[in-house]
């Protein structure tokens, strides 16, 4: 919605998108990672992943799924 208000397209980082959609879930996962695992997993690892634009992450995942589960010609030679 913020993109429509500003009048320009901007790619939201995954962390910002998650906080916008479910702030309590984001805080809960952050607390759980920092409390029950190594805190170093949140700061450099998770924050790096959450800095990736959400559209890029979901787009690449969708493209990979499309390629993996596409219909293939039965006569074609398969590698897998």
* Tens digit of each residue's pLDDT (9 = 90 or more) over 44-66: 999 999 999 988 888 999 999 99
* Tens digit of each residue's pLDDT (9 = 90 or more) over 4-44: 677 777 788 999 999 999 999 999 999 999 999 998 999 99
**3-state per-residue secondary structure call for the chain:** CHHHHHCCCCCCEHHHHHHHHCHHHHHHHHHHHHHHCCHHHHHHHHHHHHCCEHHHHHHHHHHHHHHHCCCCCCCCCCCC
User: What is this structure's pTM?
Assistant: 0.67
């Amino acid at each position: 919605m913020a993109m429509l208000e500003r009048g320009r397209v901007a790619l939201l980082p995954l962390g910002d998108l998650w906080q916008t959609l479910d702030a309590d879930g984001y805080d809960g996962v952050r607390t759980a990672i920092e409390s029950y695992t190594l805190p170093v997993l949140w700061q450099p690892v998770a924050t790096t992943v959450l800095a990736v634009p959400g559209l890029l992450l979901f787009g690449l995942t969708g493209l990979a799924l499309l390629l993996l589960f596409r219909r293939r010609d039965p006569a074609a030679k398969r590698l897998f």
